[in-house]
Structure 1
Amino acid sequence: MWGKPTVLNNAETWATVPKIIEKGADWYASMGNDNANGCKIWAISGNIKYNGLMELDMKTTLREALDDYCGGIQKKKDLKVVHVGGVTGGFLPPELADTRQTTKAFECWCFDGASQLCCI
């Protein structure tokens, strides 16, 4: 940037900047909740109908993400656990499926880290 060597460490953050400039910070914050603003891109996989990258606003619960955007748990099985965050993460029990996505909400269980969800 500005003719100088630049390191871009968090592409997800930089990807939001043009829309925030275009629509304003209040617009971006409106997609969040009391503890976290905006959206987050998740890599979602596992025993669900649709696997892939999904940009979800921070109001979205884990259950909404799995049921509404991923087509639900497949093979008529119950959700047993969700691994969150890749190698820096941990496991969330199904009882937390109605929790809104925030680092604070998950902090006693795991760190969202690499923004990965693997449903088992």
Structure 2
Amino acid sequence: MQRGNCGSNRRLDSKRSWPLLSEISRRVKRRRATASLEKCFQEGKERERSLVEEGAKREAQFKELLRSLEAEKNNLEERLTNQLAQLNGSIADYQQEAADNREHLAELQRVGG
């Protein structure tokens, strides 16, 4: 008879263990979900760090390009200013030459006329 009792005790124990097994299963699932979320979070943090680095590199490249363009603009402005000064000098020379020629022509007309 004890054998029968032993078997029924095992059945009772297994019936009692179902809620415990269910709880263990829920906890395992929760830990897996938590681990998955932590992994996603770490990947997100790594992606953010990578994007911040990339942004910093691009900002540095942009600033260098801006400095280069500013220097080129200043160089072009200086060259243009020099060319304008040369052009103004040439115009002044032509005007002076034209005035001298008019004066010379007027002198020739007085002498010849």
Q: TM-score range by the shorter chain?
A: under 0.3
Higher relative contact order structure (alpha carbons within 8 Å, sequence separation ≥ 6): 1
Structure with higher strand content: 1
Calculate the TM-score normalised by the size of structure 1.
0.15
Name the larger-Rg structure: 2
Calculate the TM-score normalised by the size of structure 2.
0.16
